[in-house]
Structure 1
Amino acid sequence: MTQNQLLITIIIISSCFFIGCLIFNQGKMVLTLLGRGILGTLVIGIANTILAELGIWIPVGVNLLNFTVAALLGIPGIAALYGIGLWQIFH
């Protein structure tokens, strides 16, 4: 499976989840996930800024995949992203 096929698969699954949530939960879960994703993305951006000021570079970017991880897993997901980033540096 190429990277583009994986991205399309993720988009299709996310779209189905979004539509299902709108139909069955009147959007409450969708709004919660969007809020968590936005907050998680802000945390990643702030953490990257603080770490850059300290001279530490960990490869965790602000993108759709990290937004999704932050939305679904919250703080543990963000910690896992930084853990994977540290593992990439030292491996």
Structure 2
Amino acid sequence: MDENRSSIVVNFIVRAVIGLGVIFFTNEILASRGISVAVGLNGLSLLTSGTLGLPGVCLLYGILFYQNL
């Protein structure tokens, strides 16, 4: 039981760190191309990327692009 709990926590942390890295680099790429859509690096994006992984990061960008229509 303890191994299962620790693997869940490690999995969440790895997904959150990778997700925040993807958000950071995607924001930089979009800014260099003159696209003014940027997801903030905050607790909500950390929880979303940690829980949902890469689909969660895509969801955050999808919400921002939808708001800018």
TM-score by length of 2: 0.89
**Counterparts of residues 60-71 of structure 1 (less than 5 Å):** 60-71=39-50
Q: Which has the higher contact order (CA 8 A, sep 6+)?
A: 2
Gaps of 5+ in 1: 1-20
Question: Among the aligned pairs, what percent are the same residue?
Answer: 36
Give me the whole-angstrom Cα distance separating, in 1, the residues matched to 2:5 and 2:39: 33
Gaps of 5+ in 2: none
CA RMSD in angstroms, aligned pairs only: 1.7
Aligned with 2:20 (options 35, 41, 51): 41
SS at match of 1:45: helix
Match of 2:59 in 1: 80
Radius of gyration: which is bigger?
1
TM superposition outliers: structure 1 runs of 4+ over 2 Å: 23-26
